[in-house]
Amino acid sequence: MKNNITLDELDFEVLSCLQQDGRMSFTVMAEKLKVSVGTVRTRVNKLIEEGTINIIGRVDPDKVGFRSYAHIAVFVRPATLKEKIAQKIAKLPEVSFLAMTSGDYDLEVDVMCRDNDHLVNFVNEISKIEGVQQTKTTIYFKVYKYAQPDLNLLQ
């Protein structure tokens, strides 16, 4: 996978089509974008190979049984363990988002759990990781928007 991938206008149009409907056929996409089916196929395959997109079925977490969403701030000491701890946390299946941050805490983790008992067990498990000094959990009572980035913001 290349690090410096350059996307052109057609790449962004293909990505927008796939964000609207990940099952959109190459034929429909080609008609919509006024290019050949072969061009669309080539572009989609290139975007997949480069790791720019993954074609997946995205579920509504609430509808499939995830009833407890939370944001967990993780304080790491010594700071040299941040990367090692992040790698461990990233492997946990409950994690939907993980980032190193500036500010009061070192890592920010979003998780989806079956229920609050599952969430408590998850927080207890990451608290046992060597170097995790403290966690602060904020439960999301209701999620109003869960979306992919709007590619039009880049124009």
For the stretch 118-138, pLDDT in tens is 999 999 999 999 999 999 999
Low-confidence stretches of the chain (pLDDT < 50) are 1-2
| Domains detected in the chain | 9-49 (1.10.10.10), 61-140 (3.30.70.920)
Provide the terminal-to-terminal Cα distance of the chain, rounded to the nearest Å. Answer: 25
| Both tokens assigned to 26 | 């190459």
pLDDT of residue 9: 93
Q: What is the mean pLDDT of the chain?
A: 92
pLDDT of residue 151: 82
Spatial neighbors of 111 by CB under 8 A, at least 6 apart, are 69, 70, 72, 92, 94, 95, 96, 119, 122
pLDDT of residue 103: 87
Query: Cβ distance 54 to 102 under 8 Å?
Result: no
Length of the chain equals 155
